[in-house]
């Protein structure tokens, strides 16, 4: 039976937090470069150029791309044949976040209670979603989630009769209301089906899917294409100051649902769409 030491998990998570906040994935960079080349608005073009310049400064100085280094969301796939040596997996993941945010000079943006609002000063707790899977691997995906964009996300329990048109309408309205505040060009994660929380989880996880990858289902891939075009036709543009690049990608995931329901969740992230994945 494979065994993983707690210390290895802590160090890996800490490294991942720093990496995710300092370097953007290649698919995101490519997509922003394409946006800059295609942008028709003068403001938009200049803003996109500033965004691209900023990535270079962050890389050169080794400092976070954005000061909102987020609340950490983690998706953990835990192989059922795996042993964790020397302690609790949850504690190790949380300790790793605290270590990464301290050692990486990342901002601590988490308050202990939503009403009392005292900073926990180490950016924990992270929000961790576990999945138990066959095998002996530990797969960790980290998404530091900024709240300028998180605040523009929305969920609605549609009726089956609302259908595809209802979903389209809800996604477009959410993007229209949110993108000037969410640091457009944004990436949109959509979860359709399941239950209320399943839709929200799918929407979050969809943000980590590479921008070039479509949903494997034809009708869902067609919905992604439709939404991307319709959202960019809104004219909102980079930082909401006009232009043809409002959305860089729309990733939709679906799940079986109840005969009475059509839950739809829209999770929005800014163009600093950070996600890092590692397998131990």
Residues that bind other proteins (CB under 8 A): 40-43, 46-47, 50-51, 53-55, 57-58, 61-69, 105-109, 117, 119, 121, 146, 148, 151, 180-183, 233-237, 239-244, 270-272
Q: Are 45 and 128 in contact (CB under 8 A)?
A: no
Q: Nearer to other proteins by C-beta: 100 or 194?
A: 100
Q: Nearer to other proteins by C-beta: 32 or 167?
A: 32
Tell me: cis bond preceding 19? Omega within 30 of 0 counts: no
The candidate with the shortest Cα–Cα distance to 138, out of 277, 17, 11, is: 277
Min. distance of Cβ 176 from other proteins in angstroms? 10
Q: Nearer to other proteins by C-beta: 61 or 131?
A: 61
CA 60 vs. chain centroid, Å, equals 24
**Two structure tokens written together for 279:** 């397998």
Q: Nearer to other proteins by C-beta: 34 or 38?
A: 38
For 11-53, the DSSP string reads HHHHHHHHHHHH---HHHHHHHHHHHHH---HHHHHHHHHHHH
Q: Report how far residue 100's alpha carbon sits from residue 183's, in angstroms, rounded to the nearest whole number.
A: 25
| DSSP structure class, residue 126 | P
Min. distance of Cβ 5 from other proteins in angstroms? 29
Helices (H), the chain: 6-22, 26-38, 42-61, 89-103, 147-150, 163-178, 196-206, 218-232
Q: How many Å from the N-terminal Cα to the C-terminal Cα in the chain? A: 14
CA 90 vs. chain centroid, Å, equals 21
Min. distance of Cβ 37 from other proteins in angstroms? 16
Min. distance of Cβ 182 from other proteins in angstroms? 8
Q: Nearer to other proteins by C-beta: 185 or 263?
A: 185
Q: Nearer to other proteins by C-beta: 47 or 276?
A: 47
Min. distance of Cβ 233 from other proteins in angstroms? 4
Q: Nearer to other proteins by C-beta: 193 or 237?
A: 237
Min. distance of Cβ 64 from other proteins in angstroms? 4
Q: Report how far residue 182's alpha carbon sits from residue 154's, in angstroms, rounded to the nearest whole number.
A: 13
Min. distance of Cβ 105 from other proteins in angstroms? 5
């Amino acid at each position: 039976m494979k065994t993983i030491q707690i210390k290895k998990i802590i160090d890996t998570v800490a490294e991942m937090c720093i990496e995710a906040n300092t370097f953007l994935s290649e698919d995101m960079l490519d997509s922003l470069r394409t946006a800059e080349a295609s942008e028709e608005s003068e403001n938009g073009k200049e803003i996109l150029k500033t965004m691209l310049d900023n990535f270079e400064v962050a890389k050169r100085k080794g400092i976070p791309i954005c000061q909102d280094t987020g609340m950490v969301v983690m998706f953990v796939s835990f192989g059922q044949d795996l042993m964790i040596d020397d302690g609790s997996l949850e504690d190790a993941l949380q300790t790793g976040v605290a270590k990464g945010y301290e050692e990486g000079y990342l901002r601590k943006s988490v308050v202990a209670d939503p009403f009392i609002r005292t900073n926990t000063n180490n950016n924990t707790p992270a929000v961790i979603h576990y999945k138990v899977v066959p095998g002996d691997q530990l797969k960790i995906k980290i998404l530091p989630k900024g709240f300028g964009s998180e605040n523009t996300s929305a969920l609605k329990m549609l009726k089956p009769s609302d259908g595809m048109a209802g979903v389209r309408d809800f996604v477009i309205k959410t993007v229209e209301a949110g993108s000037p505040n969410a640091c457009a060009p944004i990436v949109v994660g959509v979860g359709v089906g399941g239950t209320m929380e399943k839709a929200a989880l799918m929407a979050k996880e969809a943000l980590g899917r590479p921008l070039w990858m479509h949903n494997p289902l034809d009708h869902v891939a067609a919905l992604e294409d439709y939404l991307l075009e319709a959202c960019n036709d809104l004219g909102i543009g980079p930082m909401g100051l006009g232009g043809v690049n409002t959305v860089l990608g729309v990733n939709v995931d679906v799940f079986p649902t109840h005969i009475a329901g059509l839950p739809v969740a829209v999770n929005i992230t800014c163009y600093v769409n950070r996600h890092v994945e590692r397998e131990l």
